[in-house]
Structure 1
Amino acid sequence: MSKFFTLFLLTLLISLMPLHAQVSLGLRGGYTLSATQIKNSQGYKSNSLGTSSQLTNFHADLMINVPVYKRLYFQPLVRYITKGAYLRPLPSKQGVFVESANQLKLHYLEVPLNMVLKFPVSLGKIVVGGGPYVAYGLNGTYDLDLMYNGSVVSTDSHSIEFNYKDRGIAPGAQLSRFDAGANLAFGIEFNNLMVVGANLSRGMFNLDRTSSAKITNSYFSLSLGVLLDREDY
């Protein structure tokens, strides 16, 4: 599957090469506010954006602008992003040691495939749109607390290897390497080639491979960057 994802990216980039005269590229980076929703037999262990579960991190983008028709553009991104969340502790049991995952970080190479409309204004263009995304998991980590009578005794950091068993966020959990969903995009392309943007993303794919839980990603991002050229120049 990793070969398939690499082939997908190469095919996307190669397909754009003949349109070089019309295509513009840009680089962006910024702030990410993420959440991983986890629902299992014990109830929600992590909730949505806007709660104490959300995690802050950073992302980096290669942005591609392809004119389609008048104000309509195909605007895919190649994005390196960290998703994840702070996880709510499992219920404690008196006199019993309990292992409970604390902080989850998942590193992805993500490709949002957005269709956007660009509206000319005096300072540049306002960009509004959205579309699906696919993401490939590179690696990840989680912190595992050892708790006794409701107190943390010790904390260990563990790596997540998507291809191996017992490398999820709890013993026996298995996470899928692939993620997919939908996102909304808003931005401004200034006349001086500076760009700002915002994305709201919601995962639609269950990351749990054991069918014992439902695990999905979501995030909100703010980006700042620059266009390397303009397709309308």
Structure 2
Amino acid sequence: MKRIVLSVLSLFTLAAAVKAQSTTSPMSSPGSSVIIKGGVNFANISNKDDGGYDDSRMLTTWQAGIVGDFNITEFLAIQPGIFYSSKGVKLQNGNPGDLDYVKTTFNPQYIEVPVNLVFKTPTGAAKLFFGAGPYVAMGVGGKFKTDTELFGSSESDIEFNDDDPLTEEQEDAGVFRVRRFDFGLNGLAGFEAGAFVFTANYGLGLAKIASTGDNSEDRNNKHRVFSLTVGFKF
């Protein structure tokens, strides 16, 4: 929890620094701004060869971060950002009270950096927007929890390996180790109303999470995250 608090405080500090730079630099573009965002993640992990997943495995988590909104034209902007994002999946067999009840929660935490190209409608102060772009992420923490009826509960820290994200081969692999680096694609839509920004985003992970798998084998074992966030622009 201490690490999470420090990470969020760092994001707010960075937002203030970026805003100060944009208002004092002669190179800053008109209309550029900074958006502080936070919201809920509906996280899952693909378990099918076509990249699909089971809705029953969804884990409700959260994210918080900042986004730069830099206008290229009146209706087109580039939006780089940095987020602390909680992902994962849950698995459950049986119900509480049953002898075979087992609930497992896999909840890794990432520092994620998206860069999206965003189109905004020409509708004045209230605008719809649509965008897409890539993201990269680095694992920084998380928990693996198990609750059972017969043996009680257990919890352990998620262990990341030191795999090179630029290669297909799995350096420092292990059965219970997770790749530290993730990457993928974002698709987003939302609207601005004055200083408030509401966004729906879908993150399609392209890197396998388990360190023993090859990215090119199939589309199993990859992050799938739908998020809803509220932001304040200044």
Q: TM-score, with normalisation over the residues of structure 1?
A: 0.71
| 1: CA distance, partners of 2:145 / 2:104 | 5
Equivalent position of 2:225 in the other structure: 219
Equivalent position of 1:189 in the other structure: 192
- Structure 2: where are the runs of 5+ without partners? 1-13, 94-99, 164-173
Equivalent position of 1:20 in the other structure: 28
Equivalent position of 1:138 in the other structure: 140
Question: Residue 173 of structure 1 contacts residue 210 of structure 1 at CA under 8 Å; is this kept in 2?
Answer: no
Equivalent position of 1:154 in the other structure: 152
| 1: CA distance, partners of 2:154 / 2:162 | 19
Equivalent position of 1:95 in the other structure: none
Task: Kindly provide the amino acid, as one letter, of the partner of residue 60 in structure 1.
Answer: A
User: Alpha-carbon deviations, 1:130-177, whole Å to 9, x = none?
Assistant: 11111111111111356xxxx642321010121389xxxxx8232110
1:120 aligned to which of 122, 131, 134? 122
SS of residue matched to 1:120: coil
SS of residue matched to 2:224: strand
1:56 aligns with 2:57: no
| 1: CA distance, partners of 2:150 / 2:184 | 35
Task: Give the CA RMSD over aligned residues.
Answer: 3.2
Q: TM-score, with normalisation over the residues of structure 2?
A: 0.71
1:1-16 → structure 2 map (5 Å cutoff): none
Give % identity: 29
Give aligned pairs, total: 191
Question: Residue 107 of structure 2 contacts residue 143 of structure 2 at CA under 8 Å; is this kept in 1?
Answer: yes
1:85 aligned to which of 86, 89, 98? 89
Equivalent position of 2:4 in the other structure: none
- Structure 1: where are the runs of 5+ without partners? 1-9, 90-97, 166-170, 229-233
Question: Which structure has greater strand proportion?
Answer: 1
Task: Kindly provide the amino acid, as one letter, of the partner of residue 129 in structure 2.
Answer: V
CA drift of 1:111 comes to 1.1
Equivalent position of 1:35 in the other structure: 44
Task: Kindly provide the amino acid, as one letter, of the partner of residue 79 in structure 2.
Answer: Q
